[in-house]
Structure 1
Amino acid sequence: MAEFERTMPPLNADERATLAGWLDFYRATLIRKCGNLDDEQLRHAAVEPSALTLLGLIQHLAEVERNWFRRVLTGEQIPPIYAPDAGTDGDDGHDGHDGGFDLTGTSFRDAVDSWQAEVTQARRNCAARALDATSPFMGAEVTLRWIYLHMLGEYARHCGHADLIRERVDGCTGV
């Protein structure tokens, strides 16, 4: 997963490079939280009563990447990855964006591959747009800048969840 090596976001860069750098930092942090664990550990809901797992977080964030950078940003009509029969509502692509938490027979490797494919497509879609470019969303317009900031919050929150889960699974902290 060399593509997701965690590097410090730029300290003195333009806005786009800073936003993209922080998003990539959090993406890499999430993958690091899953490192050196077996399939059972990745599927272990370690913070009761929650059913949240590290594998579920990877699946969920693949769905979130797909929702914001494909459905919302580009208007692409594409079904969810982990509930393909759910479809989208055709309006703003919002349906299915919270999916992925429920575990299926998907292996960790396959989940990471799906997530990496979504990240790669997200980068392509972002590179083709200005930060002030807008897309329809919930009866209004949303900018790419807003989507970046939303995604930073999404990843930061879920990396915090991953911290707690990982510590409960094997006692590892600070990865």
Structure 2
Amino acid sequence: MKFDVDLYKVKALEHCEDPKEEHILCGFYYEVAGVDFLDVGNEGFTERLECPINTYPIRPYTVCRNTGVKINGEYLYEFDLVIFGNDDRMGIIVWNEFVMSYVINPSNNYSSFLRLKGPDSHIKKIIGNYMLSDADSKKFQKYSDDLDAKYRGPEPTVECRSQQHINREIKRFLPKN
């Protein structure tokens, strides 16, 4: 069995004085004297490789862990924005404490989830990262708002019951004398 060192990588935003100069980095996370860093090695951000150490300070609240799941040969990270399902729905990858697993959250406006290995959650592609990109964040919020605008509530079901049956059901909930 081959050891895959990439499983321990994280994604995060580089810490710069000017937020417009921040870049998404992928590497190994560590902390020195209260400052968070990413060591990107030789395969990191190519425009900055003149830096001999290849270590960059990062914004700690943007750290996205590797899920260990590969989609089309690319690792899936926390808060990745994905296209999934037969009807090309959009969702984000989040950790769910209840099921102790990564799940797909299909909306920003409510808290339902789909398991990564479920029948309705076949991930087709990764299209961005909700945490690391304002554009991806706004895209997913708009998608969620559009879904909510289309939702008309549950379909009404016609239920035919006799008055006698209804009276019997009501009596179950009335206080007993």
TM-score (norm 1): 0.25
Comparing both chains, which one has the higher relative contact order based on Cα–Cα distances under 8 Å and sequence gaps of 6 or more? 1
Asked which structure has the greater CA Rg, the reply is: 2
TM-score (norm 2): 0.25
* Higher helix fraction (1 or 2): 1
